[in-house]
Homo-oligomer: A and B are copies of this chain.
């Protein structure tokens, strides 16, 4: 059976999307399922995906659940069909916002909290310190502040871009060209 260009392109994209995701701490399979749904117009059921990606039922189930939790795909029920179907968000802009918000919540917030605690700990001890020790503590505080400031600025920027909506990125880039 001759494969069409569309089929080959699909396979190629799915593979690469999975590889890229793996480099960003997202499981290859989760990304592959997402890629498959992103490219497909009709909703797919679990068996479709197991067949297409050659994965086990358990694996499919776990990763589908995660994708739903992230808000990147949706469950769909067809009347008169007991199976569940899934579709992906196809608005890339929306996808991006979802991913950024989730990762911020899961990974950035904990480190910000830690940094604030570190700052507080050292600041509390600062007045009891003298000489070299005091200088060192002050430098350490600067370092913590450096990262905190960065994250704050990053949040500000991403919120501003989100606020601009779907064309936000391009608009923002254009605006900044002339800044």
Contact = CB atoms under 8 A, between A and B. Distances in A.
Given A144-B13, A149-B92, A172-B179, A24 B107 contact: yes
A2 to B, nearest CB: 12
Work out how many copies of this chain go into the complex. Answer: 2
Interface residues of A, number: 68
A51 interface: no
Given A96-B150, A156-B169, A169-B153, A41 B139 contact: yes
Given A5-B122, A117-B12, A125-B4, A169 B143 contact: no
Contact of A121 (B9, B20, B133, B149): B9
A71 interface: no
A67 interface: no
A146 B6 contact: no
Nearest to A20: B111
A124 B170 contact: no
Interface of A: 4-6, 8-10, 12-13, 16-17, 19-20, 22-25, 38-39, 41, 90-93, 96, 106-108, 110-111, 114-115, 117-119, 121-122, 124-125, 133, 136-137, 139-140, 143-144, 146-147, 149-150, 153-154, 156-157, 159-161, 163-164, 169-177, 179
